[in-house]
Structure 1
């Protein structure tokens, strides 16, 4: 079959399906109920003995692969992060109502974001082949036959592509904590340029493991508030003292607008703008003025053809670290001017933790749901606002309001700064 591009300058990208595996609940319905209730899913780590570590809390997913319909072969073959992605992708495909079998498979693509890939399986297998770390010269004979799949993160995108029957472009985007946003941005661009009509896109992560705990402990990025796990993640609060690790996956079905309209699809939102910048400054540090994030926000808003006064909600990165929360507060003021003070802002990491590369996709799914239900999710655990963070952070309780245009931002180690704008297709200026 001949493959061709249908490049047109007016190709627009919309979200027509959502799927989620998240702390506190599996599936979009449970995910949204958790967020709007302002309920935290953070707890003491149960995946392994956390007692040797400085930070011993995380937002874990209660995930049973058998209950979620994975076969014994899939359970054996797939890392936990890949299992999350497959389950989320199944829900997104079903939610979209798209009959993928009737489409040209070359016009369907796949992108997944992930910061740390198949960390869980790699660490587990290292423990086995090294006899608990006692041997430098490991015995590969003890390793599972699918170890190479865990070593190559692209295997996760392949599994999602196989599920969807997608033979178009397939990739894993790994840009640290902005991976989820960047994977969706890449997917949208493939549709806009005419390479594909449909993308199965999102992100997945299962980083809650001893090696990850050790890495974040070393730089004191995670919270030591171990005696109160439920309230440990408190973005923009004066008493915040570090992020809480999380895990999970969100997969979205993206379609070219006319393609979706022809089949009468439900449209959650349009991906109206996306931009990314790098501060080229420090591996983990951020400049206080937030100019690089502000530049990404301005570029995304310009692409969306929306002025600051058209913005109804900001889904913040809100990691619950002193430096990040002040950095992005400054970025909102620089990019949005006085309208930053009139725009509701919230961080869902207060409830589901920070799932590294997956969080951007989970946040975009939350933004699409905020538009669908005209409800802004709250920032949980925000009782004592930081005087340096003086915007409207929607503390404690969800807020009912119409949301026609939403901004979501991400900030990642390495200096990555990304911004995405969602809008109702009928609200954009020509």
Structure 2
């Protein structure tokens, strides 16, 4: 927390996730324990070891994008724009020329967008065109779109959002692998705490369901081989798990300085009380079983918000469904929360919507904010056979009504990234 004591709240949420369209559809789906994992339909996956994914069915034109916006932008940018539109509408803020008299100063509005792989789908599709399906080593640029350069630089996502909402403050893309979504929201909250912005449009988007992405994870055997039963292929913390299910999606939050939100009588979902990230400097894809770095991120994030471990009621887990991650994360929660770990509820929504790489952190933060606001904890679907090394309360299969004053969302990413963000109910520190 900054010396000035500026506090950060969430006033808008937008989600585009597998199996649903919009925030409320997403919430209804995950609290019902429904899964959106299926055999890949974007291309023929027969040659791959893992042939399942969690795809988003959406029509960008029907959801408000123009034909030009669809043409020039990769799928990950399209999803970010749609989620941002919903979040901003939800917040009640107006931006740009013609806005309300109390519209935020454009110089005080920032963008922080996370993504792990950026415009992977467009780059791959364009390469197929310019190389004539790989026939030519020297590619022919005449067959490329004029917007190919946008597919090369992930910053195009932040640029599109800044233009869309007339944001003249800092605009940043955060790419820290699978913690990108948490880190983008955490960085956005720090901009407000430090006095660099009053409003931040923060979140993440990824669209990685492409042949090259599936091949990358096939190589290291990180994704599931349970192709016969796609709906139940994602099994975080279950002893039968054999890898994660690739996903896609986006979630955007409107972060706002508390007094700025109060001045316009905004509805507040929760307060962002603390955020921290660490790197284990250990291995590109491996994790130490003791969970030290994730535990340290949790401890530091709690410390920022002056939150005691025994106040934590819910942990939204990274819960990827790989054996090393689930055991590492269980150990980290025990190490950081002590005796409270045995009483806290903990669940993984990746069991239902897959692992959308950089986007999943923001989607999980959105789910955590809704759990805090609504007093309902989403379940871990497909959990049937306990793993003796994963022995906490993972909320099996059925959502649980529970008053949540403080929740933590955690993430773990290739490269050793470990992140934690703490969300608190608005009444915890507010009259």
Would you say same fold, with TM above 0.5?
yes
Question: CA separation in 1, counterparts of 2:41 and 2:19?
Answer: 14
Does structure 1 conserve the Cα–Cα contact (< 8 Å) formed by 2:373 and 2:425?
A: no
Q: Distance in 2 between matches of 1:245 and 1:425?
A: 34
2:41 matches 1:58: no
Structure 1 spans left out of the alignment, 5+ residues: 1-6
- What's the offset of the Cα at 1:67? 1.4
Q: 1 CA distance for matches of 2:224 and 2:94? A: 45
| Correspondent of 2:92 among 72, 77, 97 | 97
Aligned residues, how many?
424
Q: In structure 2, the residue corresponding to 1:414 is in which secondary structure?
A: coil
Separation in 1 of the partners of 2:94 and 2:36?
A: 35
The SS at the match of 1:172 is strand
Match of 1:87 among 73, 82, 85: 82
Report the counterpart of residue 337 of structure 1 in structure 2: 338
Residue aligning to 2:140: 139
Deviations 1:143-201 (A, max 9, x none): 00000011011011111111111010001000000000000111001000001100000
Deviations, residues 216-237 of structure 1 (Å, cap 9, x unaligned)? 0000000000000000000000
Within 2, Cα distance between the matches of 1:395 and 1:73? 44
CA contact (8 A) 1:88 1:251 kept: yes
Q: Equivalent residue of 2:13, what SS?
A: strand
Moved more, 374-383 or 69-78: 69-78
Q: Does 1:419 align with 2:426?
A: no
**For the residues of structure 1 that align with 2:301 and 2:110, how far apart are their CA atoms?**
23
CA contact (8 A) 2:291 2:332 kept: yes
Tell me if the contact between 2:131 and 2:139 (Cα under 8 Å) persists in the aligned partners: yes
Give the 3-state SS of the residue equivalent to 2:112 in structure 1: strand
Partners of 2:378 and 2:117 lie apart in 1 by: 28
Aligned-pair distance for 1:27? 0.3
Aligned to 1:43: 38
Q: Which moved more, 1:398-407 or 1:99-108?
A: 99-108
2:269–2:426 CA contact under 8 A, matched in 1? no
1:19 aligned onto 2:20: no
Report 1:28-427 matches (<5 A): 28-100=23-95, 101=99, 102-427=103-428
What is the DSSP-based 3-state SS (H/G/I as helix, E as strand, rest coil) of the residue aligned with 1:425?
coil
Post-superposition Cα deviations, 1:236-293, rounded to whole Å, max 9, x if no partner, equal: 0000000000000000000000000010000000100000000000000000000010
Deviation at 1:429, TM superposition (A): 9.3
Per-residue CA shift, 1:121-150, capped at 9, x if unaligned? 000000000000111100011100000011
Quote the Cα distance in structure 2 between the aligned partners of 1:119 and 1:136: 20
Q: Could you give the per-residue CA deviations for residues 312-351 of structure 1, whole angstroms, max 9, x where no partner exists?
A: 1000000000000000000011101111010000000000
Contact map agreement 1:286 1:324 (CA 8 A) in 2: yes
- How far apart in 2 are the matches of 1:164 and 1:354? 29
Distance across 1 between alignment mates of 2:283 and 2:222? 15
Shift of 1:16: 0.1
Name the SS of the counterpart of 1:162 in structure 2.
helix
Looking at structure 2, the residues matched to 262 and 103 of structure 1 have their Cα atoms a distance apart, in angstroms, of: 12
Report the Cα distance in structure 2 between the residues aligned to 1:66 and 1:428, rounded to whole angstroms. 42
By how many angstroms is 1:8 displaced?
5.5
Query: Is the 8 Å Cα contact of residues 8 and 194 (structure 1) preserved in structure 2?
Result: no
Please state how far the C-alpha of 1:99 moved relative to its aligned partner.
Answer: 2.2
Given that 1:306 and 1:428 are in contact with CA atoms closer than 8 Å, whether structure 2 keeps it comes out as no
1:4 paired residue number: none
Unaligned ranges ≥5, structure 2 = none
Task: Report deviation, 1:372.
Answer: 1.7
3-state SS of 2:427 partner: helix
Distance 1:24 1:304 in 2: 34
CA distance in 1, matches of 2:424, 2:348: 19
What is the Cα deviation at residue 428 of structure 1?
3.6
Q: Decide whether the 8 Å contact of 2:13 with 2:87 is kept in 1.
A: yes
Deviation at 1:64, TM superposition (A): 1.1
User: TM-score with structure 1 length normalisation?
Assistant: 0.97
Quote the Cα distance in structure 1 between the aligned partners of 2:329 and 2:196: 34
**Any runs of at least 4 consecutive aligned residues in structure 1 with deviations exceeding 4 A, and if so which?**
none
SS in structure 1 of the partner of residue 329 of structure 2: helix
